Amino acid sequence: MPDQPRQGGCLCGAVRFEITGPVLYSCICHCQSCRKASGGAYVPWATFEKARLSLLAGDMQWFRSSPGVTRGHCPSCGTTLTYEDEDRTGQIDITVSSFDDPTQFAPVAHIWVEDKLPWVCIDDELPRYAKTADATAI
């Protein structure tokens, strides 16, 4: 089923997208930047090849949130939809909760745990990384 199209969109429905291909990675990010961009305590992401993403409706607005990072969101309702890092050329992260069926993207790790809010309790057995998953698990 990795080539089966998966669709999603923003809260107001103005932006709709479709992606095909396998999930390259899926994680829960606790960094301050993701928290600020989403308004949540953490953000679950699924990573795909960027070339496999198609917009079905609307256009995203782009915001450069930090050096080398561009985030895409709906210009109408503000829903955070994507994250792109120049260090990972050709890849795009999509917010798991923006998919019509987010249940198919179980996370495999927690990242940026050093930024985790003190009242967030991680009670699963997934690997935890102080920063990115390229480092040693904590």
Residue-wise pLDDT tens digits, 98-122: 999 999 999 999 999 999 999 999 9
Mean residue pLDDT of the chain comes to 94
pLDDT at 4 over 70: yes
**Burial label, 117 (beta-carbon count in 10 A; 0-12, 13-18, 19+):** exposed
Q: What does pTM read for this prediction?
A: 0.92
Domain ranges, ordered by start, for the chain: 6-115
User: Can you give the length of the chain in residues?
Assistant: 138
State the Cα angle at 22 between 54 and 60, rounded to 5°. 25
CB 3 within 8 A of CB 21: yes
- List pLDDT tens digits, range 9-43: 999 999 999 999 999 999 999 999 999 999 999 99
Q: Round to whole Å and give the CA distance between 37 and 43.
A: 9
138 Cβ partners below 8 Å, 6+ apart?
Answer: 113, 128, 129, 130
> How far is it, in rounded angstroms, from Cα 129 to Cα 126?
10
Q: What is the CATH number of domain 6-115?
A: 2.170.150.70
Residue with the bigger pLDDT between 3 and 97: it is: 97
